[in-house]
Structure 1
Amino acid sequence: MSEQRTAEGADVRDRIDRYLRESRLVDRQARVVPLTGDASDRKYFRVIPADATSIVLALHAGPIEFATLPFANVANLLQQVPLPVPVVLDHSDALGIIALQDLGDVTLQAHLGAATPAEHAALYRQAVALVEQLQRRGAELASDQYVPFRIAFDVEKLTWELDFFVRHFVEG
């Protein structure tokens, strides 16, 4: 088991090194830090260059076709709304890597914990305004062109999601 993890780790690092060399988004000597997973089959890494803004790399298990990924489709939809979501900076289909704008680690909950009580209402108003914008503009953009408007959250989809959660988060 540990030999398999070591081999997987070496493969991941090789893919990251190759991507950084080929993409030239950041210096190859940048620090690469693993990020906490999200119950998916992807691995995330923050790339921290000495003299530039950090980026996040999303590594898929293998090669991808970026244009066909639901992630790419939904990212396009959310940019059309527009909502403040990470910008897709680059991708490598062969390496299964997507480079994303790094928005940092601070969640709304953590930000609220550090904010004054007077700031809480303003932060919640901003969050509600974003949800309202998503609902209103999303309805205007409704089209089979976008994945969310083509799928139903029915029993089959719920079962798939629960199985995926167990496989990649609980057992993962």
Structure 2
Amino acid sequence: MKDLVNNRLELFLTRKHPGATFKAITGDASPRRYFRVTNQNRHFIACVYPLPFERHNQSFLLASEFFQKFNLPVPNIIEESGPDGIILMEDFGTELLSSWLKKCSEKEKDLAIKKAINIILQIQSTTNKARLEKNVLTKLEFDFDKLSWELQYFYVHYLRYYKKIEIDKATENRLFNELSKIAYLLSERPKMVVHRDYHADNIMVKQESPLRLGIIDYQDARLGPISYDLVPLLVERLAKPLDDETIDEYIEYFLSGRAEYGLQRIAKSDFVNEFWMMDLERALKVLGTFGFMTAVAGRTEYEQYIPGTLKEIKRAISKISQKFPQIKAVLDL
């Protein structure tokens, strides 16, 4: 049986770009499918959505349009077809920052991470304009309900479905109280525009000399805690995890660079606690994703990432001023 997504893209290209060929790009847990399209020595990326879309509520297109006003390094949109559920965009190449960091020098690595941090600050500098315009990026945020949902996702898909842990009511109540505490504390933090998934697999190395980065996969951009994008950049998808001292140096760089982008200064001690709390929340949510992909979707390749995530949760908890004994107990940390 012919792949319906491939068939839809083939029909679209035959109609709009005769002679073009395409090849699937390895995807992630997303329902979107990506393809590299070649047409007369030109390359671009096709994103094929599972269903048709209307432009006025297509988050990737609207976020791209907004970010380009601020010269953020997002791909140019070449063509869009809502009825086909297809977007053609600029091709940033094949070099993910995560893979490039494995082979570059320590000096180049430091430069790349600092450039990536500057992009976070640039994204955050769009917040006031986004609020004034009532942009789509401000319609969603990491409020208490959203954060609680993510932490419940961890409980259901990691503890219940993957680990098959049976928890008595008293223990469950204590666990839920701690998860709610995380959601509440983070939901009360000041919020700015965030990418939402700013790890090294969503940052492309467009050019090595001089180094130029590009960002992708920002369709879920929204308002979130100020530390939100810095956490995945510094702790996720890195072949060699950064040590605590190096993370602290990059936190200093992030905080000291805020004034250059017209952003309010933040007390370091306050920010550091938020950073590790955000790290804890993201890691718990990621455990839920790994549990779902392994136990429900049958994608067992995600299981290999669970031990490292548990280690990161243990580190985060050790750094936070608040205590979470029930989370540690249920995860056997």
Normalising by the smaller structure, the TM-score range is 0.7 to 0.9
Distance (whole Å) between structure 2 residues aligned to residue 137 and residue 92 of structure 1: 28
Question: For structure 1, which runs of at least 5 residues remain unmatched after alignment?
Answer: 1-5
Contact 1:143–1:149 (CA<8 Å) still a contact in 2?
Answer: no
SS of aligned partner of 1:57: strand
| CA deviation string 1:10-54 (max 9, x = no partner) | x22221122112222xx5242x211122322211111123x3221
Q: How many residue pairs end up in the alignment?
A: 159
Task: Please give the alpha-carbon distance, in whole angstroms, between the structure 1 residues aligned to 2:91 and 2:70.
Answer: 20
Match of 2:7 among 9, 14, 19: 14
CA shift in 2, pair 1:160/1:76, >3 Å: farther
Q: 1:59 aligns with which of 37, 44, 48?
A: 48
Query: What secondary structure sits across from 2:123 in the alignment?
Result: helix
TM-score computed with the length of structure 2 as normaliser: 0.43
Unaligned runs of at least 5 residues, structure 2? 158-287, 300-333
1 CA distance for matches of 2:124 and 2:16? 36
The TM-score, its normalising length taken from structure 1, stands at: 0.77
Shift, 1:104, TM fit? 2.0
- Which region of structure 1 is more displaced relative to structure 2, 85-94 or 115-124? 115-124
Q: Is the 8 A contact 2:24 2:36 kept in 1?
A: yes
The aligned counterpart of 2:88 is 99
CA distance in 2, matches of 1:109, 1:94: 35
Change beyond 3 A, Cα 1:135–1:22: same
Residues 81, 41 of structure 1: alpha-carbon distance in 2 compared, 3 angstrom cutoff: same
Q: Map of 1:67-106 to 2, 5 A cutoff?
A: 67-106=56-95
Sequence identity of aligned pairs in percent?
A: 25
1:1-172 aligned at under 5 Å gives the runs: 6-7=1-2, 9=3, 11-24=4-17, 27-30=18-21, 32-49=22-39, 51-143=40-132, 145-158=134-147, 159=149, 162=153, 170=293, 171=297
CA–CA distance in 2 between the matches of 1:141 and 1:154?
17
The superposition leaves residues 118-144 of structure 1 with CA deviations (integer Å, 9 ceiling, x where unpaired) of 222222221121111111233344335
- The amino acid that maps onto 1:76 is E
Task: Tell me, yes or no, if the aligned pair for 1:144 and 1:150 is still in contact at 8 Å.
Answer: no
Which structure is larger by alpha-carbon Rg, 1 or 2? 2
